[in-house]
Amino acid sequence: MMRGKNSTIVKFILLGFSEFPKFTIALFSIFLGIYLMTLSWNVCLITLIKLDTHLHTPMYFFLSNLSFLDICYVSTITPRMLLDFFRKHKSISFVECTMQYFFFSSLGLAECCLLAAMAYDRYAAICNPLLYTAIMSPALCVQMVAGCCISGFFGSFIQLCALLQLHFCGSNVINHFFCDLPQLLTLSCSDTFFFKVMDPVLTVIFGLTSVLVIMVSYGYIIVTILKITSAEGRSKAFNTCASHLTTVTLFFGSGIFVYMYPNSGDYLSQNKLASVLYTIIIPMLNPLIYSLRNKEIKDSLNRWNKRLFS
């Protein structure tokens, strides 16, 4: 157990998936494949949106930023996790651990806000189509994305400052594949009252507020869609929202499971699997979800295929 002069732990041990020693190579191959697909699919989506002028709209501007956030988000966790599969000593310093959580949390909070901004964009497009371009101006879109990132940074920075004040003098073993806040608080021998107060506050500011914006936006959207007389019009309006709703459900659903359930006993394995879903799987699925259900992206891909292979 590594400790500093003040008897505070300076290194942690990440157990990762060490409970499955027979499947080390298989798990490494699966997670490496997922990570490479996540990078390639999101980079391709960003490039496609950048190069195709037909996709230079607020909806795809937000989508390209979501893809960029997902690339950064998954890269805070996966490379380290892949290295740990074949490391005998899976240690991580206290500073590295807290910084990993800081970047992971910043990007996660920013994504919460961005998903809410995307819901508002869909509300403006469907409920106020004639004023859509005026409401969702390029300047407003940039300000919304910047606001999401800055909000996520400051929300996580508050937690980082508090984390750096904690002392860890007991066990230094983290039964997870990355440094997450619940595991760190469990190991701390300091008073964690600040986190007991701050976590609900941040949950309300980022989680509940984002979900409320999404629910209100889609409440208006559903009412507007029901007023559309043609079945084709309703189907088109619904298809523009289905991908976003799928992403929202996966992201918030898996996050709620991890952070609302107890962090001990029989729930550890389930929490670890749920963490895999929202930290590794969802960033890979997002570009696929939007591409498969989006006619404009399919048309754009077809145009580029014709240019490349004609």
- The domain that holds 47 is classified in CATH as 1.20.1070.10
Give a yes or no: residue 3 inside a domain.
no
Q: Which of 210, 201, 92 is nearest to 148 (CA)?
A: 210
Q: What beta strand segments (E) does 59-176 contain? A: 91-93, 173-174
**Average pLDDT in the 122-128 region?**
92
* Residue 14, H or E segment: strand 11-14
CA–CA separation, 200 and 155 (whole Å): 12
Q: What is the pLDDT of residue 302?
A: 79
Give a yes or no: residue 4 inside a domain.
no
Q: What is the pLDDT of residue 232?
A: 76
Higher pLDDT, 56 or 256: 56
Q: What is the pLDDT of residue 239?
A: 77
Higher pLDDT, 33 or 15: 33
Give the whole-number percent of the chain exceeding pLDDT 90.
Answer: 46
Q: What is the pLDDT of residue 6?
A: 43
Task: Identify the sign of the CA torsion 145, 115, 39, 31.
Answer: positive
pLDDT of 54 strictly over 70: yes
Pairing of strands 11-14, 173-174: parallel
Into how many domains does the chain fold?
Answer: 1
Higher pLDDT, 241 or 58: 58
Give a yes or no: residue 186 inside a domain.
yes
Q: What mean pLDDT, rounded, does the chain reach? A: 86
Q: What is the pLDDT of residue 1?
A: 46
Range of 132's domain? Answer: 11-309
Q: Which of 223, 40, 200 is nearest to 126 (CA)?
A: 223
pLDDT of 31 strictly over 80: yes
Give a yes or no: residue 138 inside a domain.
yes
Q: What is the pLDDT of residue 7?
A: 47
pTM: 0.89
Give a yes or no: residue 62 inside a domain.
yes
Q: Residue 218: which pLDDT band, with cuts at 50, 70 and 90? A: very high
Q: Residue 255: which pLDDT band, with cuts at 50, 70 and 90? A: confident
| CB within 8 Å of 110: residues ≥ 6 apart | 69, 148, 149, 151, 152, 153
pLDDT of 98 strictly over 80: yes
In 138-158, which positions are buried (b, 16+ CB within 10 angstroms) versus exposed (e)?
eeebeebbeebbebbbebbee
> In whole angstroms, how far apart are CA 227 and each of 158, 231, 233, 239?
45, 11, 10, 16
Q: Count Cβ atoms below 10 Å from residue 193 Cβ, excluding itself.
A: 8
Give a yes or no: residue 161 inside a domain.
yes
**Average pLDDT in the 258-273 region?**
62
| Residue in the block written with tokens 């007389």 | 229
Q: Residue 8: which pLDDT band, with cuts at 50, 70 and 90? A: low
Cα dihedral value 117, 63, 249, 181, nearest 10? -80
Give a yes or no: residue 6 inside a domain.
no
pLDDT of 229 strictly over 90: no
Give a yes or no: residue 303 inside a domain.
yes
Pairing of strands 91-93, 173-174: unpaired
12-16, 41-45, 60-64: which has the minimum mean pLDDT? 12-16
Q: What is the pLDDT of residue 11?
A: 86
Higher pLDDT, 29 or 190: 29
| Residue in the block written with tokens 């989006």 | 294
Strand partners, 14: 174
pLDDT of 268 strictly over 80: no
pLDDT of 226 strictly over 50: yes
CA–CA separation, 275 and 257 (whole Å): 9
